[in-house]
């Protein structure tokens, strides 16, 4: 019995020791809660700063204790002790702040904060001992996630025991209501040992001076690395208002490898390093900030206020735990000469929306009230104004451009004067003999096209205004015109992109290597189209038939970046292409839309980053979508390809709402038929041109709004006029004809509301005319009855007068009134555009003198050619 008691006693003591060696997080949190300072009741969540996430994990809420800064550019700090004594690891961060009130936040780790107050002015310092930056946030950045198995080490013998939060309040106008701020960050910590320890490497310029008015000023930083290997996984850039782009590199044996490049005016998050970069002993870490002193009247120095500047490049890295160093800095330029070889991309500013610039870092500049509305809101307003109108797209049948003698029409564009520009192939043809299996052009012996390949036409009468491009190209494809009137074209045989001045015989710029296909930064493979940003001048090239990418170049032709990949098996994913065939730049929304031809869709991307935004895809597109064009104000036009065998979707044009992607209208030609519509371009008045590579033709379409009566006020008198333009004939649109009724009713109501002047005159005139008309009608009716009663003699007498008119007014609708036939009876008057005004009769009736053949347009199209040729 005594032995049993002794054994139980030993087990109890062992169990007690185990329990004392492993303290439950709940007991730790209770101890922490008892010692923590009371915070403002306005700070949601601060009454529970520590939250258990299981036996080994917990969350720590670090918030400002309800502060109200008194002046702009205030830096406030507060500290929170680590609620455990043992070693722990921070594995996740979740920020709680808005750029409306906070310029940026920094989270430090240290052992002794500069103050024991609930918060203090950071001018007193952050920590009394060495501090390490664990986290940084600014400009509504998203949460930062660390890779699996990586954590910042805190507590224990080597890690910091306090967290210090520094918040920079740039502009305090948001605190006019005297509210209290509780910005901060929530940390996810774990007791589980992490095999890889995270750290922060800060590259910072300390002596840069930016002269006033200077367009470009570089701040360069470089240091030799002298420690154990580290692996870089995230980066962050930071400047104030004048910063245009910040880039960081690893330099090894003279080779520059990009770590990250970003505009400091975009959300200042930690962005992932796109391609993993490791840094070894004796490598060089280099960074460059590009500033502009334009708009400044005095020198700008590095400092902490809104009128100062900063040049910071943060690198998050991880190392093996046994060699880990948590924080390193570089503030010098160890090798200024090497920056002569820095990649050109580091010198090219990344453009940012002006509405984003108006919210620079929380340092809100003084602005007039009229400047506070964003460009995006203005663009949407313009879109609503345009799309609020009901319209149909119909062929302008009297436009003579359809009869032009052209080669294969590959590209269309409108120049700054709104003239139509056509890019065609003359006597050259792209067929199965044009290229070998490696995409090398096989018909060089034909020489370049001897005809002028670029034709400038008057859009109203198709009169040739200018021509160029003779003996320059082999197989033209894409065409775009920048705001200065320069032509940007692609040649799929030469694998090149050309910039041509309107009056120049030789190219101003050539990208790519002639007749050499490739997929690197200096080569294209059958490039298809070009788009030029009117704001920044950046050039975007879709490349192409044998590459699946979009490449951005600077205005001078320097490579900037690229995105896109080949479509994998199965459903095409965002950013994948199967012949990126046509580009439409949307300056209103800072987007670039791509006609992803063989995937039958439109993909739109953010201009500055190439980030995928959305896809526009409809069943009516069919298998192929050839071209896309944008009209400022919110309209997107596109053309598809012929259906594959067994598919029913016809080849046609589309008008879409850009914001929603909804199809507003579809259109097809009346004269001839689409065979392979290859490009489309539209103007602000909804005039649309479509070029067909197989039909070798260009059609002009216009909105039916041109046929509506316009109301013009002159000196208070309402005048109705019809716009004098080409006659427009309905092109068998699928839309319901009744959809125009609301617009017509609206116009009638508009006229009634605006004709207060002269109403009495119109009323009196009407009252006088009505009895006369009624009397004449009675007389005509009596005479007609006499003719019916008295037989043939009476009929012959009537035929020579009013009977002839009434007979024509009856038309073909079984006694119905047909104004089209009435007007057509008069010599020299065209009846086009009036036949469908008949108030009775079947829509399926075909007039005997109607020369159009509707059967041809409704018949099934022939099988399409191989998708690779166009």
C-alpha distances out from residue 341 to 256, 366, 521, 533, Å: 8, 40, 17, 28
Q: Are 593 and 602 in contact (CB under 8 A)?
A: yes
What is the distance between the alpha carbons of residues 550 and 577, in angstroms, rounded to a whole number?
9
Q: Are 435 and 442 in contact (CB under 8 A)?
A: yes
User: Which listed residue (78, 203, 310, 561) is catalytic?
Assistant: 310
What is the distance between the alpha carbons of residues 48 and 60, in angstroms, rounded to a whole number?
9
What is the distance between the alpha carbons of residues 730 and 138, in angstroms, rounded to a whole number?
56
Nearest CA-CA partner of 447 in 411, 494, 488: 494
What is the distance between the alpha carbons of residues 864 and 598, in angstroms, rounded to a whole number?
13
E strands of 111-155, at which residues? 120-121, 132-138, 150-154
Assigned token pair, 75? 């830096």
Assigned token pair, 301? 């120095």
Residue 240 is among the residues annotated as catalytic for this protein: yes
In three-state secondary structure terms, 796 is helix
Nearest CA-CA partner of 623 in 636, 640, 604, 605: 640
User: Which listed residue (105, 166, 204, 408) is catalytic?
Assistant: 166
Matching residue, tokens 């190209």: 473
Q: Are 681 and 672 in contact (CB under 8 A)?
A: no
Residue 310 is among the residues annotated as catalytic for this protein: yes
Assigned token pair, 36? 């923590």
User: Which listed residue (78, 99, 104, 188) is catalytic?
Assistant: 104
Contacts for 184 with CB less than 8 Å, ≥ 6 apart? 61, 62, 63, 64, 95, 96, 97, 105, 165, 167
Residue 96 is among the residues annotated as catalytic for this protein: no
User: Which listed residue (168, 364, 424, 477) is catalytic?
Assistant: 168
Assigned token pair, 808? 């024509």
Sheet holding 409-414, edge to edge: 409-414, 420-424, 454-457, 464-468
User: Which listed residue (96, 99, 105, 238) is catalytic?
Assistant: 238
Nearest CA-CA partner of 80 in 118, 48, 42: 118
553 bridge partner residues: 539, 559
Burial of 778 (0-12, 13-18, 19+ CB in 10 A): exposed
| Bond from prior residue into 318 cis (ω within 30 degrees of 0) | no
Assigned token pair, 410? 């590959």
Nearest CA-CA partner of 856 in 693, 640, 625, 675: 675
What is the distance between the alpha carbons of residues 99 and 171, in angstroms, rounded to a whole number?
10
Residue 656 is among the residues annotated as catalytic for this protein: no
Q: What angle do CA 276, 279, 285 make, to 5 degrees?
A: 105
E strands of 171-295, at which residues? 184-190, 196-204, 209-210, 217-224, 230-238, 243-252, 255-262, 271-279, 284-291
Q: Are 248 and 262 in contact (CB under 8 A)?
A: no
Residue 103 is among the residues annotated as catalytic for this protein: yes
Burial of 341 (0-12, 13-18, 19+ CB in 10 A): exposed
257-289 burial, b at 16+ Cβ within 10 Å, e below that, comes to bbbbbbbbbbebbbbbbeeebebeeebbbbbbb
Assigned token pair, 575? 């950013």
What is the distance between the alpha carbons of residues 141 and 131, in angstroms, rounded to a whole number?
23
User: Which listed residue (240, 392, 477, 581) is catalytic?
Assistant: 240
The H-or-E segment that residue 720 falls in is: strand 717-722
Catalytic residues: 103-104, 166, 168, 238, 240, 310
């Amino acid at each position: 019995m005594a032995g049993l008691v002794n054994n139980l006693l030993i087990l109890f003591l062992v169990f007690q020791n185990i329990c004392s060696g492993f303290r439950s997080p709940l007991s730790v949190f209770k101890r922490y809660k008892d010692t923590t300072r009371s915070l403002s009741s306005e700070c949601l969540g601060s009454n529970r700063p520590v939250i258990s996430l299981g036996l080994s994990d917990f969350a720590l809420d670090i918030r400002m204790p309800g502060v109200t800064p008194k002046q702009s550019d205030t830096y406030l700090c507060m500290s929170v002790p680590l609620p455990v004594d043992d070693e722990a690891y921070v594995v996740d961060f979740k920020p709680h702040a808005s750029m409306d009130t906070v310029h940026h936040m920094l989270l430090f780790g240290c052992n002794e904060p500069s103050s024991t107050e609930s918060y203090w002015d950071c001018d007193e310092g952050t920590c009394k001992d060495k501090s390490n930056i664990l986290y940084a946030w600014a400009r509504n950045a998203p949460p930062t996630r660390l890779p699996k198995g990586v954590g910042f080490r805190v507590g224990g013998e080597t890690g910091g025991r306090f967290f210090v939060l520094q918040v920079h309040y740039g502009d305090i106008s948001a605190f006019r209501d005297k509210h209290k701020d509780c910005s901060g960050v929530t940390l996810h910590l774990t007791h589980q040992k992490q095999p890889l320890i995270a750290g922060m490497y800060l590259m910072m310029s300390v002596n840069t001076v930016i002269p006033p008015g200077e367009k470009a000023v570089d701040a360069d930083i470089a240091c030799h690395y002298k420690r154990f290997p580290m692996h870089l996984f995230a980066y962050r850039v930071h400047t104030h208002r004048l910063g245009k782009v910040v880039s960081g590199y690893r330099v090894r044996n003279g080779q520059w490898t990009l770590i990250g490049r970003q505009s400091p005016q975009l959300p200042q998050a930690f962005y992932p390093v796109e391609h993993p970069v490791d840094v070894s002993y004796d490598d060089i870490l280099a960074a460059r900030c590009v500033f502009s002193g334009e708009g400044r009247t005095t020198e700008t120095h590095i400092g902490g206020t809104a009128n100062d500047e900063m040049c910071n490049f943060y690198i998050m890295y991880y190392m093996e735990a046994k060699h880990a160093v948590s924080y390193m800095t570089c503030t010098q330029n160890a090798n200024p000469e090497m920056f002569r070889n820095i990649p050109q991309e580091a010198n090219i500013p990344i453009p940012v929306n002006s509405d984003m610039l108006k919210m620079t870092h929380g340092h809100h500049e003084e602005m007039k009230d009229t400047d506070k509305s964003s460009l995006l809101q203005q663009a949407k307003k313009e879109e609503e104004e345009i799309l609020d109108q009901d319209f149909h797209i119909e062929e302008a049948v009297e436009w003579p451009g359809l009869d032009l003698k052209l080669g294969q029409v590959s590209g269309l564009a409108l120049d700054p004067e709104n003239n139509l520009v056509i890019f065609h192939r003359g006597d050259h043809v792209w067929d199965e003999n044009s290229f070998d299996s490696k995409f090398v052009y096989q018909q060089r012996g034909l020489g370049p096209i001897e005809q002028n390949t670029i034709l400038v036409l008057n859009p109203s009468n198709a009169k040739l205004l200018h021509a160029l491009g003779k003996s320059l190209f082999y197989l033209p494809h894409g065409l775009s015109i920048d705001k200065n009137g320069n032509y940007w074209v692609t040649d799929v045989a030469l694998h090149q992109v050309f910039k041509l001045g309107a009056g120049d015989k030789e190219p101003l710029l050539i990208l790519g290597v002639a007749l050499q296909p490739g997929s690197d930064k200096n080569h294209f493979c059958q490039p298809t189209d070009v788009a030029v940003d009117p704001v920044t001048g950046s050039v975007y090239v879709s490349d192409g038939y044998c590459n699946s990418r979009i490449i951005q170049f600077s205005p001078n032709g320097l490579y900037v970046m690229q995105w896109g990949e080949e479509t994998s098996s199965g459903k095409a994913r965002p950013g994948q292409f199967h012949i990126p065939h046509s580009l439409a730049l949307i300056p209103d929304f800072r987007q670039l839309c791509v006609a992803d031809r063989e995937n039958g869709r439109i993909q739109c991307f953010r201009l500055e980053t190439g980030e995928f935004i959305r896809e526009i895809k409809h069943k009516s597109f069919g298998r192929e979508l050839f071209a896309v064009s944008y009209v400022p104000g919110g309209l997107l036009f596109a053309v598809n390809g012929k259906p594959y065998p067994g598919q029913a979707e016809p080849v046609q044009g589309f008008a879409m709402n850009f914001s929603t992607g909804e199809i507003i209208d579809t259109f097809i030609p009346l004269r001839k038929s689409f065979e392979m519509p290859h490009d489309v371009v539209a103007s602000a008045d909804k005039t649309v041109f479509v070029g067909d590579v197989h039909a070798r033709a260009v059609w002009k379409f216009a909105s039916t709004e041109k046929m509506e009566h316009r109301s013009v006020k002159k000196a208070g008198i309402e005048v109705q006029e019809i716009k004098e333009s080409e006659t427009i004939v309905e092109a068998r649109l699928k839309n319901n004809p009744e959809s125009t009724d609301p617009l017509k009713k609206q116009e009638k109501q508009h006229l009634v509301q605006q004709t207060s002047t002269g109403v009495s005159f119109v009323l009196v005139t009407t009252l006088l005319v009505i009895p006369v008309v009624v009397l004449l009608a009675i007389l005509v009716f009596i005479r007609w009855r006499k003719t019916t009663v008295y037989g043939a003699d009476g009929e012959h007498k009537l035929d020579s007068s009013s009977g002839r008119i009434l007979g024509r007014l009856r038309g073909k609708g079984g006694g119905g009134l047909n104004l089209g036939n009435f007007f057509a009876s008069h010599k020299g008057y065209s009846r086009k555009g009036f036949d469908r005004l008949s108030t009775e009769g079947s829509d399926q009736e075909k007039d005997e003198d109607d020369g159009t053949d509707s059967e041809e347009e409704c018949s099934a199209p022939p099988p399409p050619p191989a998708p690779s040729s166009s």
